[in-house]
Amino acid sequence: MFDIEFKSQRAAALIGERWVEGDRQFAVNNPATGELIALVADLGAEETREAVAAADTAMADWRRVPAKERSRLLRRWFDLVVEHTDQLARLMTLEQGKPLAESRGEVGYGASFIEFYAEEAKRIAGETLPGHGADKRILVVREPIGVVAAITPWNFPLAMITRKCAPALAAGCTVVIKPAEATPLTALALAALALEAGIPAGAINVVTAKSPAAVGEVLTTDPRVRKVSFTGSTPVGKKLLAQCASTVKKTAMELGGNAPFIVFDDADVDAAVEGAIASKYRNAGQTCVCTNRFLVQSGVYDAFVEKLAERVRQLKVGNGQEEGINIGPLINQAAVDKVSAHVADALDKGARLVEGGQTHALGHSFYEPTVLADVTPDMAVAHEETFGPLAAVFRFDQDDQAIAMANDTPFGLAAYFYARDYKRIWHVMEALEYGMVAVNEGLLSTELAPFGGIKESGLGREGSHHGLEEFTELKYVCLGGL
Ligand code: NAD
């Protein structure tokens, strides 16, 4: 059993109805202090096959549970998650580092998917179509796709799980979750609450592991798994896609981004700065829809840089467990190294340091919120996802130039822009090659909208009714002899 108050230092994985300690454990540390938080079951291929078997067995009954009952159980899960907001938030901050206020926000955001899909479970409809002969009728039935593998990242330890598992369970699928090695505790707490809500054992399984390759190999090749829903980096996503090919699994790939944030001359600069702070520095810059490149038109360039730097100076860096903190630590030293490398490369090639630019005096994996101006397309930050608190500001003159710069990337997840002119807004929205575009807004995630990317940012959508359909198959039934 997983204790939601988490007073013990050990955590078992969940396979069917068994909490499995395994022969080995791996350490989970607090990124703000380096302290050991927990020893977690380190499972491998064999236990993953057991989890798939448990999900496969449970699927036979779960898919037959009436939609209204599945809805009731999901709703109960939602209620329990909301009731345990403080415990879940504390756990998340402990293992991931984000400020408590953000963790509480993530519990609310993550729970909203459970609430939404509890409602949608009752609205999975098929259709009848005109037949192709006088004695024929066409029926289209929507069925659950089967066992789902959900492989999730550490940056949103709770919401990335509910965004997949709630629609999967609503559709009548069962799931095997492989949480990120840095943040398994939130996943286990969520699963414990799902069981408490009455979701049957086997419908939700959690396989924890220090090294994901063996678990991933089973999840992407076992024929009983019919869908792999992955959120993480583009290189890992490509690898998993290739592995899924051998058994022709459906996949959902929520991958990396390189979001542009364009500020046009006619923008409300103060609003753009507020949007920039939300879009760039939330979760210390470790979100897939984080702005990676600020493209600012010459007429407002200096004002934007100055106001942004002023706001960045007000951000309070520290241990996320303390109230009033805006920026917690990065997830690990490798993350710090990447930000440092992007800053060094940009400065080397002529960028101007406006704010920050150093590892933080707090040590561990803290990095100063940073602003670089006069960034140019030859710098690494133009092409790679920084995933840290670095705002890189580019200058442009003409609208077409901004659009070309914005689209000059293999990624296509989220894009932001600030402008007032109606025609400009419409044209820029159409020209941006992105799955999601935010206009005069710095935050766009909601369970009500389809979230996802194009190009190398991924396949499929999560959220809204589109997110539910991803876990269903269409069955065409030809009725003849009528
Ligand atoms: P990652 O790709 O390193 O890991 C993601 C998950 O995949 C983890 O659970 C990890 O253990 C697992 N994994 C890694 N190798 C595997 C393998 N061979 N087989 C099976 N599983 C494997 O990504 P990360 O560092 O945890 O997360 C950050 C990345 O995620 C960023 O690129 C970010 O943009 C992206 N992300 C995307 C979205 C989105 O919705 N598009 C949301 C959040 C994060």
- Give all domains of the chain, ordered by start, each with its CATH number: 10-255+457-478 (3.40.605.10), 260-439 (3.40.309.10)
The predicted structure's pLDDT at residue 455: 98
231 lines ligand 1 (CB under 6 A): yes
Find the catalytic residue in 50, 254, 385, 462: 254
Q: Which class for 480: exposed (0-12), middle (13-18), buried (19 or more C-beta within 10 A)? A: exposed
Residue type, 96: Q
CB 212 less than 6 A from any atom of ligand 1 = yes
Ligand 1 center to residue 162 CA distance, Å? Answer: 16
Dihedral angle of Cα 194, 196, 199, 202, to the nearest 10 degrees: 80
Q: Does the active-site annotation cover 127? A: no
Q: Given this model, what pLDDT does residue 8 score?
A: 78
C-alpha pair distances (Å), 412 with each of 118, 123, 450: 30, 31, 14
Centre of ligand 1 from the C-alpha of residue 411, in Å: 15
Backbone angles phi, psi at 177, to 5 degrees: -95, 135
Tokens coding 244: 């899924």
Ligand 1 site, residue 233, Cβ cutoff 6 A: yes
Does the beta carbon of 232 lie inside 6 Å of ligand 1? yes
Predicted pLDDT of residue 387: 97
Ligand 1 centroid – CA 100 distance (Å): 23
Residue-level pLDDT at 316? 98
What is the full per-residue pLDDT of the chain (482 aa) written as tens digits? 788 888 778 999 999 999 999 999 999 999 999 999 999 999 999 999 999 999 999 999 999 999 999 999 999 999 999 999 999 999 999 999 999 999 999 999 999 999 999 999 999 999 999 999 999 999 999 999 999 999 999 999 999 999 999 999 999 999 999 999 999 999 999 999 999 999 999 999 999 999 999 999 999 999 999 999 999 999 999 999 999 999 999 999 999 999 999 999 999 999 999 999 999 999 999 999 999 999 999 999 999 999 999 999 999 999 999 999 999 999 999 999 999 999 999 999 999 999 999 999 999 999 999 999 999 999 999 999 999 999 999 999 999 999 999 999 999 999 999 999 999 999 999 999 999 999 999 999 999 999 999 999 999 999 999 999 999 999 999 999 99
Q: How many CB atoms lie under 10 A from the CB of residue 37?
A: 18
Ligand 1 closest atom vs CA 180 = 9
